[in-house]
Homo-oligomer: A and B are copies of this chain.
Amino acid sequence: MKIAIDAMGGDFAPENIVKGVNLAKKEFSDVTFQLYGNGEKIRQFLDDETNIEIIETTEVIDFHDDPVTAIKSKKDSSLVRAVTAVKKGEADAVLSAGSTGALLTAGLLLVKRIKQVSRPALMSTLPTSDGRGFEMLDLGANTENTAQHLVDFAILGSYYAENVRGITKPKVALLSNGTEESKGSPSVKEAHELLSNMSEINFIGNIESRDILTGGADVVVADGFTGNAVLKAIEGTASVLMKQIKAAIMEGSFTTKIGGALIKKPLSGLKDMMSTDAAGGAAFVGLKAPVIKAHGNSSEIAILSALRQIHKMLETDVTGKLVEHFENMEN
C-alpha cells in the first residue's frame, strides 16, 4: 500500500512528520511512504530511504490561506500534490497535519465523495473515562445537516468502529437534548425514526453530550455545527480545569505545593488520557479513499498513530466496504 504524506503541513513540519514516518516504517514493511515537500528539509530528519519516495513540491499552504483559493492557486503545494496522488491512483490514502479547511476542500474536489453519501464528515476518536474511546462525527465538515446526512454519518461511523477499531456491533447514538425519542431538533427526530428502522445499524437511541465521555456509545452522530461546538466545549473545559488545578496548587500554601508535587504523576496520566497522541487523526469519512487530518501541533507519536490508523483502514478496506454498502442501498 502507498500512503501520500503532506510533509510540509503543520506547526512542526517537516520534522515531526518525518520522524513519525521513521517510526511507522519500522512497523509496516508493506507500506511505501510518499513524502511530498522540500526534499532537502525532509532528508534532514529521515533515518533512511527504504520504502520512502520523496516527491519535490515548491509551495506550502498555511493556516492563513483561504482553503478554496489555496487549492486552486497552489497546485504545487505539498498538500494538493499529496491529495492529487490519491486522485490519480498513485497512492491509496493521504495524511496531512496542515490546514483542515484546505484538506477538506481538496479531499472533496479531488478524492471525491462515495456515490450516495451526500455529505462527507469529519470524525475523531474521543476519549472516555473507561479508556475505550468513541467515534464522534460530524465534527465540523458541515455547518448544517439533514436527517439523511445524519443517517449516512451513522453508517460511516459504524463501519469505521467495526472495521478499524474492532468493535462488534458498535452502539450508535444520536446526540440530542434528551434521551427520549421525542427529543431533538426536527432533523434529529427524523433521523431517529429512520435509524430505528435500519437493521444493519445497532442504533441505541439518543445520547446527551453530558454522557458521551463515560462510554455510553461507540459512535456518536451529530450535525457538523453541534458536533464542532461539543468537541471544542470538551477541549475548552478540560484545558481550563487542568490550568485551574495547576494554578490552585502553585498559588497554594507550602503544604499544597508538596501535595501537588506528590500527585504530579497521576495528573500527567490524566493528561495522557485527554491527549490526542494515541488517538490518530481526524478521518474525513465518506470519500473514496482515506483522507486523514492530524493535529497541527502533532508530535511524532501522533503522526505514527495516524499512520497506524491509515494502515488499519487500508488493511480492512473499510472504504471499499462502505462503497459497496452505499451501492447496495441504491438498488
Residues of A that sit less than 8 Å from B by CB:
129, 140, 143-144, 175, 177, 183-186, 188, 208-214, 222, 224-226, 228-230, 232-245, 248-249, 252, 255-256, 258-267, 269-270, 273
- Expressed in whole angstroms, the Cα–Cα distance for A177 and B224 within the complex equals 9
B residues less than 8 Å from A210 (CB atoms): 232-233, 235-236, 239
Contact B237 A234 (CB under 8 A): yes
If A252-B266, A262-B259 touch, does A233 touch B244 (CB 8 Å cutoff)? no
Contact A270 B256 (CB under 8 A): no
B residues less than 8 Å from A267 (CB atoms): 245, 248
B residues less than 8 Å from A235 (CB atoms): 210
**Which single residue of chain B is at the shortest CB-CB distance from A252?**
B266
- Expressed in whole angstroms, the Cα–Cα distance for A20 and B79 within the complex equals 61
B residues less than 8 Å from A238 (CB atoms): 237, 241
Contact A177 B229 (CB under 8 A): yes
**Which single residue of chain B is at the shortest CB-CB distance from A254?**
B262
B residues less than 8 Å from A140 (CB atoms): 177
Query: 14 new A-B pairs (CB below 8 Å) besides A230-B233, A241-B270?
Result: A129-B243, A144-B185, A208-B236, A209-B230, A210-B232, A212-B236, A229-B229, A230-B230, A233-B234, A234-B236, A237-B241, A241-B241, A252-B266, A259-B264
